[in-house]
Each structure stands twice: as C-alpha cells, then as structure tokens.
Amino acid sequence: MNVLPIKAAPLVPHAGGARSHPELPFFDDGDAKLWENWLRAHRLEVMRVWMEDDARAVDSYRRFLAGDLVGSLSEWQPCKPDGDQAWFLLAVFDGGEGPCAYFVRRVSYFPYCADAQGVSAIF
C-alpha cells in the first residue's frame, strides 16, 4: 500500500470555532469505518486530547464552561501528546463530550486504535 503524503499543515477554520487539516475529509456520525480506512490509507495513528485535560488550556476551558465555545476552540493551542514532536494536529472541535483535538503521527503499520471508534462528526 502506498502511503499518501499528508503532512502537518495550518488548520482551516470552520463554523463554531472548529478547525481541521486541509486534507481531512468530513466524517459524520456513524462513519467510523471510513475514518479508520482513511487513517489506514495514510498510515496514521490518532490520539485524542481533551481541552479539560490540557494544562495549557485552563483559560480556554473556563471560557468553554462559561458558554464561549467559538472563542475557546479558536484560541486553544493543544499540547502534543507526551510532547512527542512526531505528532501533528489534525483537528480541533467539540467532540460532544467537550472540546477535543486529534493529533496524528505516521506509523509503519496500522495499530488498532480504540479512540478511532465512535468518532463524533468533525466540524
């Protein structure tokens, strides 16, 4: 399988403060299989980071809790998982259970990733 050349890029803003990688297609609720196939085609593993767990997002999370979803999502600059520079930001959105960010990194094989199941609509 050829690896498609997706790389880190500035995120594109969407309505509601969400933003995503310019090469990320829209995945709706129930598209978990399409999402997994897309990750597999790009040989990416995904890690979800919640705003409420991000030490740098204290002010953004307060704004979110106060009802400012657009402002809190727009200003949030999520921390990379484990500080690992191989991760790059794929999307920032309201995951239904609160603001979250998806980071991805290239892998030589496609691991099973529990976080890829039950994907909420992105943007």
The per-residue pLDDT for range 46-72, each reduced to its tens digit, is: 999 999 999 899 999 999 999 999 999
Q: What is the pLDDT of residue 51?
A: 96
Q: What is the pLDDT of residue 115?
A: 46
Q: What is the pLDDT of residue 64?
A: 94
pTM of the model: 0.82
Find the length of the chain. Answer: 123
Q: What is the pLDDT of residue 4?
A: 63
In whole angstroms, what is the distance from residue 14 CA to residue 17 CA?
6
Q: What is the pLDDT of residue 110?
A: 56
Q: What is the pLDDT of residue 58?
A: 93
Q: What is the pLDDT of residue 111?
A: 53
In whole angstroms, what is the distance from residue 92 CA to residue 107 CA?
22
Q: What is the pLDDT of residue 62?
A: 95
Choose among 48, 50, 3, 9: nearest CA to 60.
50
Q: What is the pLDDT of residue 121?
A: 41
Residues of the chain with pLDDT under 70: 1-4, 109-123
Domain ranges, ordered by start, for the chain: 46-106
